[in-house]
Amino acid sequence: MEEPIKILIVEDNVIIADDMQSMLEEIGYEIVDNVIVYEQAVEVLKNNQVDLVLIDIILASDKTGIDLGKHIRESYDIPFIFVTSNSDRATVENAKTVQPNGYLVKPFEQQDLYTSIEIALSNFEPGKKSKAAEVEDQVAGEGFTSNSVLKDSIFVKKQHLYYRIYFDDIRFIKADNVYLEVNTKDKKFLVRSPLKNYLEKLPQNKFYRAHKSYIVNVDHIDGINTRDILINGTLIPISKDFKEFIISAMNS
């Protein structure tokens, strides 16, 4: 059975914090701890596995949630989301300096909280630690360790909702001007992204650039000829290199 996502809540309003914890536990997340100040959060992070942190910007201490975000960026390889009542320009600009993985404005509903968390986890790229953290690791001789969540899906926005698409369900992706068309068995989603950048978000053992305009999931190739492959009833052109790769894989 897959382990639940472990979340740390840092919120100095006890009523709001307890309400958030109830919402999250009802969804199925595990709450590692529920603390009110920077120093407590630092201690919890030091001694526990945490997959994601929810942080209020204004805390009941001299140090703010933005200070905590900076500490996480420098010392850990996990995503965090600011959960705050402050959405003024100055606060948002200050928050952006520590590159949060989400920004959720109170009050919010359970679905808003769930969506923000799942998008942050899905789109988080482990390994992008700050330069200071990389130097500290090298000095200590510890190398790189990550307690981030393994990703098995990606979120794609369609109209007013973000839809979770499991990698196994993606058949192929087609470039169309500045957009990508993500194709599953029976749905299509439009994403604004360069094809090369999107390929980097996908599992390297499944997804390959078959053509300058296509990424394909090799698990769903139904047929092949000298110029095309067939996936889900669609003929997709292939490059010479990709054809040689597929033929080599078939004969190995």
Query: What does the pLDDT average to over 56-71?
Result: 92
pLDDT tens-digit profile of 151-162?
A: 688 877 665 567
Rounded CA separation 116/83 (Å): 10
Which residue type does 73 have?
A: R
More confident residue, 90 or 137: 90
We report the CATH number of the domain holding residue 172 as 2.40.50.1020
Output 181-188 pairs: Cβ under 8 A, ≥24 positions apart.
182/156, 183/232, 183/234, 185/232
Query: What does the pLDDT average to over 104-110?
Result: 90
User: Does residue 39 share a domain with residue 110?
Assistant: yes
We report the CATH number of the domain holding residue 70 as 3.40.50.2300
* Residue-number span of the structural domain to which 185 is assigned: 166-251
Q: Is the pLDDT of residue 131 over 50?
A: no
